[in-house]
């Protein structure tokens, strides 16, 4: 007995394509005929490793309000608009975040640990007189997030070495000139399989297509709509537990930015709003499970997940990307 291919009809006679029917539950080992379950159920490719001590930040560098306590306190429920002075400072913070992310991505290769990537990010950040925003944010122990393969988001850099065939998302946020800038990219470690390339490519398109519709007067739910259309076409799924967010003097604040379609969300974009778009797209099911470390979120079925993120400013007639380039690293690989 053989299981159908993704685009073949499902074995249950529903008349639906396998990928739209029992594929995901088979992969979880829930429904496949017993003889085939073993070959379907995925094994984790990532396990919790050793986490090195927090790296120190020199005293002369301005710190966000939570740096010592771990608790963000500033007003985060209101949706703020930035004034020209704040825009200038956010541009500078965004530039530094981009510079640090580029430095990290240039160092991704088989054999390097995610802890080493974190150390590289940390030194570059403080060299540029900025504070690495994740450090001690709600107790997060490191300076960036590194999310490998089935890790969806908030992976903690540790002693795991990257291996050829992995995909890794590096998420850099810095605090400089009193503002946060937040961006991430997913890249390949050595040669990766075609399915992973497709996933990363489509996730990038999700970010770009949604950025292209940002302008004053636009509905926030247009973002989820365009992403859903693209993702459905490829049989992937959209993570719902984590969203984009307002950003500025606070790391995370209103509005939240759903990457799936919310028909009843009436929030409208206005000039001067600054927020992130950061779709997490899964090759398998949409659901996540969070590890006991309370941070690392992995896909429930252990299929791979990719993500890209930019910090954006709504301008008078459209959008400005505050965190840099339209050419992602994976396209240069």
**Cβ closest to ligand MF3, residue 205 vs residue 278:** 278
214 pairs with which residues across the strands? none
- Element at 147 (helix H, strand E): strand 145-148
| Shortest Cβ 184–Co ion spacing (Å) | 5
Q: Which stretch binds ligand MF3 (CB under 6 A): 37-45, 137-145, 158-166, 325-333?
A: 137-145
| Shortest Cβ 239–Co ion spacing (Å) | 13
**End-to-end CA, the chain:** 39
**Cβ closest to ligand MF3, residue 295 vs residue 329:** 295
Q: In this chain, which of 223, 249, 309, 310 binds ligand MF3, going by CB under 6 A? A: 309
**Cβ closest to ligand MF3, residue 156 vs residue 319:** 156
Told to check if 118 binds ligand MF3 by CB under 6 A, we report no
With CB under 5 to 8 Å by kind, the binding choice for 136 among ligand MF3, Co ion, none is: none
Q: State the residue number with the nearest CB to ligand MF3.
A: 134
Among candidate residues 143, 146, 102, the one with its CA nearest the CA of residue 123: 143
CB environment 9-33: b (16+ within 10 A), e (fewer): ebbeeeeebbbebbbbebbbeebbe
Among candidate residues 328, 313, 333, 310, the one with its CA nearest the CA of residue 171: 310
Told to check if 330 binds ligand MF3 by CB under 6 A, we report no
Q: Which one-letter DSSP state was computed for residue 138? A: G
User: Alpha helix locations (H) across the chain?
Assistant: 23-27, 34-40, 84-106, 114-127, 194-211, 221-234, 329-332
Q: Give the sheet arrangement for strand 297-299, strand by strand.
A: 151-153, 297-299, 288-290
| Shortest Cβ 191–ligand MF3 spacing (Å) | 28
Number of Cβ atoms within 10 Å of the Cβ of 6: 12
Q: How many residues bind ligand MF3 (CB under 6 A)?
A: 12
**Cβ closest to Co ion, residue 113 vs residue 184:** 184
| Shortest Cβ 182–ligand MF3 spacing (Å) | 5
Contacts with ligand MF3 in 32-91 (CB under 6 A)? none
Nearest 5°: the CA angle 93, 95, 96 is 65
Q: In this chain, which of 150, 182, 205, 301 binds ligand MF3, going by CB under 6 A? A: 182
With CB under 5 to 8 Å by kind, the binding choice for 137 among Co ion, ligand MF3, none is: ligand MF3
Q: Draw the binding track, 151-180, toward ligand MF3 (x: CB under 6 A; -: no contact).
A: ---x----------------x-x-------
What would the two tokens of residue 22 be? 């029992």
Residues making contact with ligand MF3 (CB under 6 A)? 134, 137-138, 140, 145, 154, 171, 173, 182, 278, 295, 309
């Amino acid at each position: 007995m053989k299981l159908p291919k993704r685009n073949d009809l499902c074995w249950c006679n529903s008349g639906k394509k396998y990928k739209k029917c029992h594929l995901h539950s088979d992969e979880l080992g829930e429904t496949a005929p017993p003889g085939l379950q073993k070959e379907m159920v995925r094994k984790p490719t990532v396990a919790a490793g050793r986490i090195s001590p927090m790296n120190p930040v020199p005293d002369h560098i301005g710190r966000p309000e939570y740096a010592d306590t771990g608790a963000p306190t500033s007003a985060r429920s209101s949706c703020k608009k930035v004034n020209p002075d704040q825009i200038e400072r956010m541009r500078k913070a965004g530039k530094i975040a981009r510079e640090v992310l580029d430095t990290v991505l240039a160092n991704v290769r088989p054999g390097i640990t995610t802890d080493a990537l974190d150390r590289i990010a940390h030194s570059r950040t403080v060299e540029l007189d900025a504070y690495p925003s994740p450090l001690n944010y709600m107790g997060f122990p490191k300076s960036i997030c590194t999310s490998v393969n089935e890790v969806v988001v908030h992976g903690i850099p540790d002693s795991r070495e990257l291996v050829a065939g992995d995909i890794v998302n590096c998420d850099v946020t810095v605090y400089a000139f009193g503002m946060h800038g937040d961006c991430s990219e997913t890249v390949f470690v050595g040669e990766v399989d075609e399915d992973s390339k497709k996933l990363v490519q489509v996730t990038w398109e999700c970010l770009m297509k949604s950025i292209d519709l940002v302008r004053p007067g636009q509905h926030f739910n247009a973002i989820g709509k365009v992403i859903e259309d693209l993702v459905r076409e490829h049989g992937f799924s959209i993570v719902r537990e984590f969203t984009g967010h307002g950003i500025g003097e606070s790391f995370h604040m209103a509005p939240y930015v759903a990457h799936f379609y919310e028909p009843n969300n009436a929030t409208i974009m206005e000039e001067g709003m600054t927020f992130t778009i950061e779709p997490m797209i899964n090759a398998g099911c949409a659901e996540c499970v969070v590890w006991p470390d309370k941070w690392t979120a992995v896909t429930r079925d252990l299929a791979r997940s990719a993500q890209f993120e930019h910090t954006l400013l709504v301008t008078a007639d459209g959008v400005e990307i505050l965190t840099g380039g339209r050419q992602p690293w994976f396209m240069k690989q």
